[in-house]
């Protein structure tokens, strides 16, 4: 048996660890850090796996790449903020479908996009992530990930079969 803030002790049927469910993704307030961040200067930074999103997470990308994967992250109740500054770089934020996303960023000769809103299925009391910032000659992509979507290799194989007429 797991508590709301402990990861499941056994892997799923596929042998891979499963993403936390809506009740498992919220941690007690005293466990949530106030602020953290990353900087990518001519480099790349990744935040992924089982981690706790702080109330304020700042990422700066200057000619670099930052990947923020929230699909297995844990959240405090309420709203957390992700502030981004992208200069000739790239930031990708992956969000699970049961987290509410609020995005208002500015792009100056760049892009600040939200994709996959159709997969979003937050329930009442679900954590909210507010993504804001500026992309100057760079790109920010906030993508809501469908956990049931086929992998890119399965989609490629399906498309190949369609083209070949098999």
pLDDT tens, N- to C-terminus, the chain (166 residues): 444 444 444 444 444 445 555 556 888 999 999 999 999 999 999 999 999 999 999 999 999 999 999 999 999 999 999 999 999 999 999 999 989 999 999 999 999 999 987 777 788 888 999 999 999 999 999 999 876 677 778 888 888 888 887 6
5 found inside a domain: no
Q: Which residue has the tokens 């479908």?
A: 97
8 within a domain of the structure (yes/no):
no
User: Is 18 within a domain?
Assistant: no
Query: Rounded distance, CA 78 to CA 87, Å?
Result: 30
Q: Is residue 151 included in any domain, yes or no?
A: yes
Residue 45 covered by a domain: yes
For the chain, counts of helices (H) and of strands (E): 1, 12
Within a domain: 19: no
Domain that holds residue 111: 26-164
The vertex-73 CA angle with 56 and 15, nearest 5°, equals: 170
Q: Which of 45, 30, 26 is nearest to 84 (CA)?
A: 45
Query: Per-residue DSSP letters for 69-107?
Result: E-TT-BEESSEEEEEEEEESSEEEEEE-TTSEEEEEEEE
Structural domain contains residue 20: no
Owner of token pair 């994967």? 69
Domain count within the chain:
1
Whole-prediction pTM: 0.76
Residue 11 lies in a domain: no
């Amino acid at each position: 048996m797991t508590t709301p803030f402990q990861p499941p002790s056994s892997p799923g049927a596929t042998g891979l660890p499963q993403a936390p469910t809506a009740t498992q993704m919220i941690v007690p307030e005293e466990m949530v850090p106030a602020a953290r961040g990353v900087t990518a200067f001519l480099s790349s930074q990744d935040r992924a796996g089982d981690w706790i999103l702080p109330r304020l997470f700042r990422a700066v990308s200057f000619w670099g790449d930052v990947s923020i994967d929230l699909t297995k992250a844990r959240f405090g109740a309420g709203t957390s903020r992700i502030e981004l500054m992208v200069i000739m770089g790239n930031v990708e934020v992956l969000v699970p479908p049961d987290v509410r996303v609020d995005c208002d960023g500015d792009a100056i000769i760049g892009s600040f996009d939200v994709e996959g809103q159709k997969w979003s299925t937050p329930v009442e009391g679900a954590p909210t992530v507010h993504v804001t910032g500026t992309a100057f000659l760079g790109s920010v992509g906030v993508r809501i990930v469908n956990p049931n979507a086929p992998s890119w290799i399965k989609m490629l194989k399906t498309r190949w079969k369609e083209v070949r007429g098999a």
